[in-house]
Amino acid sequence: MTQRSLQRAYLHCKTVAADHYENFPVASRLLPARLRRPISVIYSFARRADDWADEGNYTAAERLQALNLMAQALTTRECDDNLFIALYSTIDQFALPLEPFFDLIAAFRQDVTMSRYPNQEALLNYCRLSANPIGRLLLHLNQSSHEVNIAASDALCTALQLINFHQDIGEDYHQRGRIYLPESELLKWQVDEAVFAERQNHPGLCQLLDAQLDYIESLLTQAAVLVPRLKGRFGVEMGLIEGAAWRLVKKLRQQPHPFSRPRLRRHELLPILAGTLWRRFIPR
């Protein structure tokens, strides 16, 4: 492989990340320059797997086959696609484990085959596959993959995934036919599918979501040990993400309707960043 082909592969991943900036790590310019390129590669991998699970007019069998081919390419290292050229190089350069990548593929396979979750345990297992691997890979990139950090990162990533489910409950149902809330809790609060189909402001759904937000807050509390343990700009980035998560929980608490899809605006990031810097650098 020539240096030119490798540079072309990295440029491809950078373009993919730039085209989907809203899903890229919050304020990625805060990240150390040495981490931006490998993170764009990891993001591009997750983006492609997500597209195979959700985009286009493919059958379930075709989607699963495409995801299986991605897993095969990870195993054999014989794919000459730009994404995988960059990915192989990144894995070697940073000694990244393969398990998080296989976990991501398993999550997207689950998106193809599973649209309901019987209980909280099943939903959290999905988060373990779909969200936690990203945090673990970021820790590996930053050479801060220690036991305490991993546990806190898992809590933060699961919280972020659950927040995303709350933001998108209407979109997930109407566009993808999925409900990312435990069926046992829907039954408990007497919430049937008509509530989602008609976007009802149902009191039971509101109570269910409030209970889930309580759980998300407990995860964010567990994750609070992470940011003080991370140095430099990477720590600031993670602090900003944690602060954004708390801000989103507050907005979800205050939303007038469970299907109103609250989002953070760019102007809201500045006070979150200021608070992050204050906590990190101002003596107490």
The DSSP result for 188-252, as a single string, is HTT--HHHHHTT---HHHHHHHHHHHHHHHHHHHHHTTHHHHS-HHHHHHHHHHHHHHHHHHHHH
1: part of which helix (H) or strand (E)?
none
Instruction: Record the tokens describing residue 100, joined without a space.
Output: 């998080």
Q: What is the reported pLDDT for 162?
A: 97
Nearest to residue 238, comparing CAs of 97, 36, 17, 27?
27
Residue spans of the chain under pLDDT 50: 21-27, 282-284
Domain map (residue ranges) of the chain: 1-113, 116-284
Q: What is the pLDDT of residue 283?
A: 43
* Tokens coding 171: 């979109």
Closest residue by Cα to residue 150 from 210, 208, 79, 225: 225
Please count the residues of the chain: 284
Position 15 scores a pLDDT of: 84
Residue 177 CA to residue 188 CA, distance in Å, equals 21
Burial of 110 (0-12, 13-18, 19+ CB in 10 A): middle
Give residue for tokens 């939903």. Answer: 123
Predicted TM-score of the model (pTM)? 0.91
Please tell me the predicted confidence (pLDDT) of residue 263. Answer: 79
Instruction: Tell me what the pLDDT averaged over the chain comes to.
Output: 90
CB atoms within 10 A of CB 159: 26
* pLDDT tens sequence across 169-225: 999 999 999 999 999 999 999 999 999 999 999 999 999 999 999 999 999 999 999
1-113 with 116-284: one CATH topology?
yes
CATH 1.10.600.10 fits 1-113, yes or no: yes
Q: Which fold has domain 116-284?
A: Farnesyl Diphosphate Synthase (1.10.600)
Q: Residue 98 contacts by C-beta under 8 Å, 6 or more apart in sequence? A: 74, 91
What is the per-residue pLDDT for 261? Answer: 84
In 3D space, the residue among 238, 277, 232 whose CA is nearest the CA of residue 26 turns out to be 238
